[in-house]
């Protein structure tokens, strides 16, 4: 059934003198249920499009179940590398103040989290907690808090001293800002 649409796409591409690189193309079936996506047998220009379980688009990995576990693991890995720099620089011998370290965190780690915010709405609570743990580790390092300091105190101190929101609150803020900007620049496409 879906091959009907690939045939129409192929005709449209030919009409507009465009071409898709079949070698660089792949298909992913996004579903929380098990499906036999290998049976799709999609073809363009007579060549089969490879079926995959995940795809990277604009630097963000999407897995077939859209649970984003792979993406969260990648984010954690990238953040932890940068977090190591913050831990080293938070040592007294470097003489950096909390404000500078907080800004460093926002630049090095916060930017990674912010970039993935459109997907964060789809993250499970467990995945959000994994990302929050990264921020908590950074805050403990920057503010010289003990490892066993309760999370609610870490969040309170992060907000009061570093102006850092929790990951879920930051997600909400970015989403709200995104929607607000979109609405303020909306253009009516319909004419009466």
What three-state secondary structure class fits 57? strand
What three-state secondary structure class fits 44? strand
Q: Could you tell me if 54 and 64 are in contact, meaning their C-beta atoms sit under 8 angstroms apart?
A: yes
Is this structure's pTM higher than 0.85? no
Query: Which pLDDT score, from 0 to 100, does residue 4 have?
Result: 83
pLDDT digits (tens, 9 = 90+) for 13-48: 999 999 989 888 888 888 877 666 556 788 888 898
Residue 76: CB partners within 8 Å, gap ≥ 6? 130, 131, 134
Q: Could you tell me if 84 and 139 are in contact, meaning their C-beta atoms sit under 8 angstroms apart?
A: no
Query: Which pLDDT score, from 0 to 100, does residue 118 have?
Result: 74
The rounded distance, in Å, linking the Cα atoms of 27 and 51 is 5
The rounded distance, in Å, linking the Cα atoms of 174 and 172 is 6
pLDDT digits (tens, 9 = 90+) for 87-111: 999 988 888 999 999 999 999 999 9
């Amino acid at each position: 059934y879906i091959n009907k649409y690939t045939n129409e796409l192929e005709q449209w591409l030919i009409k507009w003198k465009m071409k898709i690189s079949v070698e660089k193309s792949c298909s992913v079936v996004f579903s929380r249920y098990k499906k036999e996506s290998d049976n799709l047998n999609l073809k363009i220009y007579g060549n089969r499009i490879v079926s995959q379980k995940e795809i990277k688009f604009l630097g963000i990995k999407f897995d077939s179940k859209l649970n984003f576990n792979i993406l969260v693991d990648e984010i954690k890995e990238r953040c932890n590398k940068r977090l190591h720099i913050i831990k080293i620089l938070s040592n007294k011998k470097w003489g950096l103040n909390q404000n500078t370290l907080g800004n460093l965190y926002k630049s090095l780690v916060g930017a990674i989290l912010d970039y993935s915010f459109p997907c964060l709405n789809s993250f499970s609570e467990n995945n959000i907690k994994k990302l929050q743990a990264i921020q908590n580790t950074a805050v403990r390092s920057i503010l010289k808090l003990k490892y066993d300091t309760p999370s609610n105190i870490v969040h309170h101190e992060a907000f009061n001293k570093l102006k850092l929101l929790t990951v879920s609150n930051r997600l909400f803020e970015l989403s709200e800002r995104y929607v607000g900007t979109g609405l303020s620049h909306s253009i009516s496409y319909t004419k009466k």
